[in-house]
């Protein structure tokens, strides 16, 4: 998006941008061949990955973007069109489809020029228009302080129908982070911090670790430049020696795979700087080889052969008990599948090993982008419906509608915080939850009605408290009663924004019901003094008719007004007992 990478025109206002765009369109056009020269690499890359792609769509999208952004500059001084072109190139490297590439080229036109979404739809079709609209920021002059929150809300809602919106947004932010150095210092920090809180977690949730790692390091460099430089220097100084020390272990694994008739590669997987800094807590003295690299075993065959490779690894070097993680049988919430183990080499050093098939590796690096690129359907749109690996997004969609703009971003940050556990229903359905979640969170993740009527829980077959902490792998069964209601104390215990919002709503409705009951009891007593029954007036429809006459949608609202003394009970009794009613 324009604002994150040095807005067009070096911060010029919208009117100036539109004037320049209009002036550019009136200028004498250059031949298309000259204009398309900067996009030649993009076109070649896209054709390489999609031999049957209609490149004319990409060409037209670039020419429209080049024409509309003519005269606009980035903070770097480069023509603004270099930004959408770079975003499109990132997406082409991921293997994304033609509509996504076209939308990337056009993604700032509606926001930063006088081009309308209607014009874009007429020229490029509904599919591209939906993608562009999904990543277009709302007008800050109209939305004020709520613009950022509502822009994210719109993007998430659009992503429910087509996850390519999020993929474009991540590529857009990645390029803006790459060019963040041209921004003033205060803006660098704001964008980097917002990226770490919101966009980087989205990349992780979508399994796009290749983007996540680079975004992590770019934010790290912006927020903590000295620490980043120190970490980079320490890694550079120790990398050659680390590779030399790890080579014997790699060779043992290669021989063990060959002995087990498993075809594959054994390579070093470099850890990114932000991960090294976090794990070492900035203590870089004597940085160990295993702190710089993990060992990656890539199996050429079927997924089942990863377990054979695991046996070979454990035969080659002694495994450390309790450190085997099977993300193949139990994938993470973001499509990530791999075997993780920890072994001790002959020198006594601890080594982390990852084992996965080549197909798993592609998914581990590119996540949802790989899934979209592999889609066999005519449209590469990916939706949330029916995808267990996107349960987190389904829950996000469920609670966002109940959140105000003020609460939405804070709740979103909480929902995206790192760390998660996998819990199970008795039938084996996986319910991903944040770390430290409680059975109350679990109940509301299943269904709001289950949460509202929860009275107890069985964890791994044993009774537990509803506010107890759940752990990875727990089998949870919620006990309910039809007349049960949420407790206000639950708000202290829950960790998920969805549960908190649903409890708030249930308590509000409960209080309204309680007040309505009090008012109805007061009215019934007053009517009984006239020798009548309120129940009869309700059955005849008189109560509802009077409520509507007084401006209430339902009788319960009128009863609540009686309890609040905003409707005089004598006047109401007179109306209800009026024989001409």
Q: How far is CA 283 from the centre of its chain?
A: 32
Contact 19, 25 (CB under 8 A): no
Q: Dig out the tokens for 518 from the structure.
A: 């009090």
Burial class (CB in 10 A: 0-12, 13-18, 19+), 245: middle
Q: Nearest CA to 95 among 367, 440, 479?
A: 367
SS (H, E, C) 390-418: HHHHHHHHHHHCCCCHHHHHHHHHHHHCC
Q: 265 - beta bridge partners? A: 298
Determine the 3-state secondary structure of 11 from DSSP. coil
- Indicate the angle between helix axes 569-576 and 542-549, nearest 10 degrees: 130
Q: Could you tell me what percentage of the chain is helix, strand and coil, using 3-state DSSP and rounding each to the nearest 5?
A: 60, 10, 30
Determine the 3-state secondary structure of 223 from DSSP. helix
Q: Dig out the tokens for 577 from the structure.
A: 């007992």
Q: Which residues are catalytic?
A: 111-112
Phi and psi angles of residue 418, each rounded to the nearest 5 degrees, phi first: -65, 160
Interacting residues of 91 by C-beta distance below 8 A, sequence separation 6+: 100, 101, 104, 167, 168, 171, 369
Q: Nearest CA to 399 among 387, 411, 386?
A: 411
Which H/E stretch holds residue 325?
strand 325-326
Determine the 3-state secondary structure of 76 from DSSP. coil
Beta strand spans in 397-531 (E): 420-424, 430-434, 454-459, 462-464, 476-480
What is the dihedral sign for C-alpha 424, 429, 432, 437? negative
Contact 140, 63 (CB under 8 A): no
Q: In whole angstroms, what is the distance from residue 466 CA to residue 479 CA?
A: 10
Q: In whole angstroms, what is the distance from residue 90 CA to residue 106 CA?
A: 14
Determine the 3-state secondary structure of 326 from DSSP. strand
Q: How far is CA 390 from CA 9, 145, 344, 485, in A?
A: 39, 30, 36, 29
Contact 476, 461 (CB under 8 A): no
CA atoms within 13 A on the CB side of 58: 28
Contact 333, 392 (CB under 8 A): yes
Contact 91, 171 (CB under 8 A): yes
Count CB atoms within 10 A of the CB of residue 510: 14
Q: 431 - beta bridge partners? A: 423
Residue with tokens 């940050």: 413
Q: Nearest CA to 496 among 568, 549, 421, 437?
A: 437
Q: In whole angstroms, what is the distance from residue 20 CA to residue 8 CA?
A: 10
């Amino acid at each position: 998006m324009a604002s994150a990478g040095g807005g067009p025109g070096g911060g010029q206002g919208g009117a100036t941008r539109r004037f320049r765009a209009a002036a550019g369109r009136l200028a004498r056009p250059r031949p298309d061949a000259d204009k398309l020269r900067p996009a030649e690499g993009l076109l070649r890359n896209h054709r390489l990955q999609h031999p049957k792609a209609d490149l004319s769509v990409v060409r037209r999208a670039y020419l429209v973007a080049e024409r509309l952004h003519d005269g606009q500059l980035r903070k770097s001084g480069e023509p603004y069109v270099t930004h959408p072109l770079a975003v499109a190139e990132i997406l082409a490297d991921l293997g994304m489809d033609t509509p996504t590439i076209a939308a990337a080229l056009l993604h700032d036109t509606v926001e930063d020029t006088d081009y309308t979404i209607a014009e874009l739809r007429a020229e490029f079709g509904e599919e591209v228009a939906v993608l562009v609209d999904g990543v277009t920021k709302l007008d800050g002059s109209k939305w004020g302080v709520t613009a950022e929150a509502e822009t994210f809300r719109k993007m998430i809602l659009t992503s429910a129908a087509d996850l390519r919106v999020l993929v474009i947004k991540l590529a857009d932010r990645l390029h803006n982070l790459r060019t963040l150095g041209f921004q003033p210092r205060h803006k660098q920090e704001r964008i980097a911090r917002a990226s770490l809180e919101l966009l980087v977690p989205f990349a992780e949730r979508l399994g796009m670790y290749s983007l996540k790692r680079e975004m992590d390091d770019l934010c790290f460099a912006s927020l903590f430049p000295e620490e980043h430089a120190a970490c980079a220097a320490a890694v550079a100084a120790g990398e050659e020696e680390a590779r030399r020390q790890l080579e014997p272990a790699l060779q043992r694994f290669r021989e063990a795979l060959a002995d087990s008739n498993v075809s594959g590669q054994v390579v070093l997987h470099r850890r990114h700087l932000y991960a090294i800094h976090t794990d070492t807590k900035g203590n870089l003295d004597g940085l160990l080889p295993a702190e710089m690299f993990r060992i990656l075993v890539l199996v050429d065959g079927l997924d089942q052969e990863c377990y054979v490779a695991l046996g070979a690894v454990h035969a080659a070097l002694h495994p450390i008990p309790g450190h085997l993680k099977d993300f193949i049988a139990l994938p993470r919430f973001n499509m990530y599948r791999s075997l993780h183990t920890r072994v001790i080499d002959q020198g006594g050093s601890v080594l982390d090993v990852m084992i996965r098939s080549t197909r798993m590796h592609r998914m581990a690096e590119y996540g949802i982008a790989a899934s979209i690129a592999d889609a066999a359907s005519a449209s590469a749109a990916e939706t949330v419906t029916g995808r267990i690996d996107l349960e987190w997004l389904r829950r996000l969609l469920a609670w966002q509608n109940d959140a105000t703009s003020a609460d939405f971003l804070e709740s979103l940050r909480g929902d995206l915080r790192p760390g998660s556990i996998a819990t199970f229903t008795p039938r084996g359905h996986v319910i991903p939850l944040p770390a430290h979640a409680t059975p109350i969170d679990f109940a509301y993740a299943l269904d709001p009605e289950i949460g509202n009527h929860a009275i107890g829980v069985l964890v791994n077959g044993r009774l537990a408290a509803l506010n107890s902490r759940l752990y990875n792998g727990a089998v949870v069964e919620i006990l309910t009663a039809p007349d049960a209601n949420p407790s206000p104390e639950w708000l202290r215990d829950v960790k998920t924004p969805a549960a908190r919002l649903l409890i708030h709503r249930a308590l509000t409705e409960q209080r309204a019901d309680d007040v309505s009951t009090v008012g109805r009891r007061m009215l019934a007593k007053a009517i009984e003094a006239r020798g009548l029954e309120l129940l009869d007036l309700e059955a005849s429809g008189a109560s509802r008719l009077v409520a509507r006459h007084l401006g209430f949608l339902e009788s319960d609202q009128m009863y609540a007004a009686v309890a609040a003394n905003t409707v005089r009970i004598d006047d109401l009794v007179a109306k209800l007992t009026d024989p001409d009613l």
